[in-house]
Amino acid sequence: MAIRTVSTRPFDGQRPGTSGLRKKVAVFQQEHYLENFVQSVFDSIGDFKGETLVLGGDGRYFNRQAIQTILRMAAANGFGRVLVGRHGILSTPAASCVIRKHGAFGGLILSASHNPGGPSQDFGIKYNTGNGGPAPEAVTEAIYRRTQSIDCYRIVDAPDIDIDRTGTCALEGMAVEVIDPVADYAALMQEIFDFDAIRDLLGNGFRFVFDAMHAVTGPYAVEIFERQLGASEGCVIRAEPLEDFGGGHPDPNLTYAKELVERMFDEHAPDLGAASDGDGDRNMILGARFFVTPSDSLAILAANAQRVPGYAGGLSGIARSMPTSQAADRVAEALGIPCYETPTGWKFFGNLMDAGRVTLCGEESFGTGSDHVREKDGLWAVLFWLNVLAVRRMSVASLVRGHWRRFGRNYYSRHDYEGVDMTAAEAVMARVRKAQEHLPGSKLAGRVVRACDDFAYTDPIDGSVSRHQGLRILFEDGSRIVFRLSGTGTSGATIRMYLESYEPDPSRQGLDAQQALAGLIAAAVDVSGLHELTGRQQPTVIT
C-alpha cells in the first residue's frame, strides 16, 4: 500500500450551506469532487495527527462509496483512528454523541438530511468539530476558501474495508474501528430519561407509532422503542434504511409524512405518533388528531423539563432560531432563565451550550435538542414527549391546550415555495427590502408595524457577527412576518415565509392556524409580490 498525492483543481461552489455541502449525487460523482472537499476539510481543521475521526451517514445512495474514499484519505492524511458506524450508518445526533464520548478530533457525517436520496437525488457531507457540533462559520468559510485553491489531495491505495461487521482493522497505519451505531447513543438516552416510567406507559394501553421514513432512525427506533422500552413490535414503521428512502422525501412534516399523518387523524388514531428525517435529527410530534408545532414542542418540553431525570435540576437557558415562534420565550420568562435568539442552523447553538448558557434549543423546522449532544436530536425529542406523558398521563392535545391556557398561544405557520427560479426569489427578497423602508409606523393586516430589519446576530461568546439572516416585519402586538431563502436546497431557490401572532385569550385559542393567520398571510404575499414575481399561486409545503 502506498500514499498517493493526486493533482487536482478547484470546483465551483463547494461552499457549505446551512448544514454542510449538499449537491446532486451526479455532482459528487465527478472525478475528484468528493476528494477535493474532504481534503479541503482536512487542510482547514488544524493538527489531527494520530487523532480520532468519526465517520458515518444516513445510508443514502453513495454513502458506502464515500465512506471507503474518506477512510483512504483519512489514513493518507495521518488520522490515528476512524470510528465508523456499521453498514456506514450513524445518525447525526449519534455521530455527535460518539464524537463527544470518544474524545474524537471531529467527524464527517454523510447526509443531505431531509432531501430525497437515490442516484438522481441528493448527497451531502458535513464536518463536526470536537464538541460534537456542526463546524462554526469561521471553519466552514476556511474550508470553502481552501476548496478554491486546492491543487492536490492525499489518498492511500488499498482494497475496500469491510464495514458490515464490528471490529478493528488497520489501514496504512491507521486503525479502522467499525462500531455498533446504536449502542453509545442508546446508553446516553438511558441516562437522560426514565425508561421504567416509559416502559410502564407503553405497557398499559398507550398506543404509539414511529415512522422512520426508511431513513437512518429505523435501527435506533427498533432497538430503543421496541427492544428496550417494550413498545409493541411493529410500532416502528418503515424501519429499514433504504438508499432511496423508498422513493420518499424523508422530511417529517404534514406533507411528506402523509401516511403517518392520515393514521394520526383517523378516528382510531394512536395516542402518540412521531417521525424523524433522513439523518435522524428532526422530529414531528402528533397526538390523536392533533399536530404539535415544533415551536410549541420546544416550549412545552421546556415547561415540563423538570419532570425528566436528565433535566430535574432545571434549565440554564433556552435558545431558539429567529424564525421559531416566541412560545419558548414566555416559558423562559416564567422560569426566570434567559432565552437567546439565533440565526437559522444548529451551528449557532454550539457556543451557547459549550458555555453552559443554554440547556434546550429548538428550531421551527422540526428540530429540538439539548446539551446532551451538539446536534438536534429526533429520537431524543420523542423520548422526551414519552417521558412527560408517562408522568402527566394525559393526551397530547390536553397537554398542549393546557400549555396555551397558561402561557398564551403563538399561532404559527411556515409557507415554503420550493424550486423557485433563483432570479425570481431574489426579486421577492428585494421587494420586501424595499417595502421595509416605509412600513414602520404604518398599518398592515390591521396591526401597526413596529420595526423592520434584516436579522443580524452577534455571538455572545466569541463576538462573531452573522448578517442577512432573514427579513423581518415586526408588529407592535408581537406578531411577525419573516422571509428568508433556504440554504439547504440543491436546485433553484426555496423561499420560506414565516408567520406568527400571539393569542393570550383562551376562548380564542381554538382556531385553525391558517385561519388565525389569514390576514398576515395575505399581507405578506401582497407586500412581497410573491405570487406575481414567482408565478406561483400557493406554497409547496405549509407547516
Active site residue 501: no
**Nearest distance in Å: CB 369, Co ion:** 11
Contact (Cβ atoms closer than 8 angstroms) between residue 347 and residue 129? no
114 Rama sector, left if φ>0, alpha if ψ -120 to 50, beta otherwise: alpha
Q: How far apart are CA 218 and CA 235, in angstroms?
A: 11
Stretch that binds ligand VG1, among 172-180, 199-207, 363-371, 456-464 (CB under 6 A): 363-371
Contacting ligand VG1 (CB under 6 A), which of 359, 365, 368, 387?
A: 365
8 A C-beta contact, residue 473 and residue 527? yes
Site for ligand VG1 in 402-461 (CB under 6 A): none
Per-residue CA distances from 391 to 112, 301, 365 (Å): 36, 13, 27
Cβ proximity of 135 and 129 under 8 Å: yes
DSSP annotation of 233 reads T
State which of positions 276-295 bind ligand VG1 (CB under 6 A): 277, 279, 281-282
Which residue lies nearer to ligand VG1 by CB, 63 or 365? 365
**Closer residue to ligand VG1, CB minimum distance, 250 or 270:** 250
Alpha-carbon separation of residue 304 from 164, 191, 194, 380, 405 (angstroms):
41, 18, 14, 15, 15
The amino acid at 432: V
Q: Do the Cβ atoms of 314 and 320 come closer than 8 Å? A: no
Which C-beta is closer to ligand VG1: that of 130 or that of 489? 489
Residue 363 interacts with ligand VG1 (CB under 6 A)?
yes
Question: Out of 487, 492, 519, 529, which residue is the one contacting ligand VG1 (CB under 6 A)?
Answer: 487
Cα(277)–Cα(346) distance, rounded to whole angstroms? 15
Q: Which residue has the cell 422500552?
A: 229
Residue 343 within binding range of ligand VG1, rule CB under 6 A:
no
Provide the residue type at 218 as one letter.
Answer: G
**SS3 call for 307:** helix
Give the residue closest to Co ion by C-beta: 113
- In eight-state DSSP terms, residue 228 is I
Residue 115 contacts which entry, ligand VG1, Co ion, none (Cβ below 5-8 A, type-dependent): none
The grid cell for 437 is 423602508
Residue 217 sits in the site that holds ligand VG1 (CB under 6 A) = no
Task: Write down the least CB distance from residue 58 to Co ion, Å.
Answer: 8
Residue among 96, 113, 321, 501 flagged as catalytic: 113
Asked whether position 347 contacts ligand VG1 by CB under 6 A, the answer is no
Task: Answer yes or no whether residue 72 interacts with ligand VG1 by CB under 6 A.
Answer: no
* CB-nearer residue toward ligand VG1: 40 or 91: 91
Q: Which residues contact Co ion (rule: CB under 5 A)? A: 113, 277, 279, 281-282
Is residue 344 a contact residue for ligand VG1 (CB under 6 A)?
A: yes
Residues within the interface to ligand VG1 (CB under 6 A): 18-19, 113-114, 277, 279, 281-282, 321, 344-346, 363, 365, 367, 486-488, 496
Please identify every residue annotated as catalytic: 113
